[in-house]
Amino acid sequence: MTAPTETTTRPRPSLAVWKFASCDGCQLTLLDCEDDLLALTETVDIAHFTEMSRSTTAGPYDVSLVEGSITTPADAERIVEIRARSVVVVTIGACATAGGIQGLRNFAASGAYASTVYAHPEYIDALDTSAPISAHIDVDYELHGCPIDQGQLLEVLTATLAGRTPVIPGHPVCHECKSRGTVCLVVAESRACLGPVTRAGCGALCPAVGRGCFGCFGPADTTNTGSLASHLVDAGTAPVDVSRLFATFNASAPAFAKEAAAQGGPVSVSRTGPDGHEGGR
C-alpha cells in the first residue's frame, strides 16, 4: 500500500495599499477597476487597504502600492517601515512620484502658507517640503498621473505577480494624439499644450476635446521643455503663463520645476532625499 503524499498549499501573494498626503483619487482608480479587481482578489490577499476594508495584517507584503507625498516627520518614518516590510514598492500618482499639487508649497519659505490655511498653524508638524516617496526610500516602479490610469495599474500588478517587468509607457502624449487622429493644438492653433513633454497614459483626453494638455502625467522620459516653452512664448504666451503651465500637478518634477524657474517663476526646493537619490523604475 502506497503511503499518502503530503501536499502543501502555497500562500497567495499579499497586496497592501497605503495612503500618505493625497486626495485618495489613485486608490479610487483601483476600486474603479471593478470586475478586474474582483478577479484580482481571487489570486492575491489584500492585506491592507483601508479605502476598501478595515481588516489588515502585519506583513510582510509582496507588493505595496503607495499613494501620496511625504509631508510630516511621522510619515517619513512610516514609509521607511513600509519599505522594510515590502518586497516590491510601487508609487502611484503625481503626489507619490512628484510631490503632488501640495508640492507648490516647495516654492515658498517653509511654513509660509500655514497661517493662511490653518487657524492654529502652531499645531502643524510638517516637513519643509512635500516630497515624493523616492526622496525617502528606494522605489521599484512608479506610476504617474493625476489620477493614474487603470490599464497601467493592472499591467504593473499582473506583471509583478507573474514575475516579469511591467511595460510602462514613457513616450509623450503626442503619440496618443496621433493614434486617435487629433490635430496638434501646438502646431495648428498655437495653443498652450504640454503634450509634447508630458508622459502618455490619459489617452490624450484634453487635446481630443480641443483643450491643451495640463501635464497630469508629469514629464515624459525624454523631454525638451525649453524648446516647447520658446515656441509658446513666440506664439504669444506670456512667460509667466508658461511658468504657471509647468507648475501644477507635477510642479516639483525636476524637468517641470526647472522650466518653470527658467520662465521667471519661483525656484522649487530640491525634491531629493539626504542621499540625493530620487529613484524609481
Burial class (CB in 10 A: 0-12, 13-18, 19+), 9: exposed
- The DSSP secondary structure of 112-144, one letter per residue, reads TTHHHH-S-GGG----SS-B-GGGTS--SEEE-
Question: What would the pLDDT profile of 20-53 be if each residue is shown by its tens digit?
Answer: 999 999 999 999 998 888 888 889 999 999 999 8
| Run of H or E residues at 112 | none
Domain extent listing, the chain? 14-162, 173-262
Q: 3-state class of 137 per DSSP?
A: coil
Residue 32: CB atoms within 10 A of its CB come to 13
Q: State residue 274's pLDDT score.
A: 36
Give pLDDT, residue 115.
84
Q: What is the pLDDT of residue 118?
A: 87
Which regions in the chain score pLDDT beneath 50?
271-281
Which residues, in sequence order, are CB contacts of 53 under 8 Å at separation 6+? 46
Q: What is the DSSP letter of 263?
A: T
d(CA 200, CA 191): 19
Phi, psi values for residue 14, rounded to 5°: -110, 140
What does the pLDDT read at residue 278?
46
pLDDT for the residue numbered 281: 47
- Contact call for residues 225 and 256 (beta carbons, < 8 A): yes
**Fold of the domain spanning 14-162:** Rossmann fold (3.40.50)
Q: What is the pTM of this model?
A: 0.89
Phi first, then psi, for residue 90 (nearest 5°) are: -120, 120
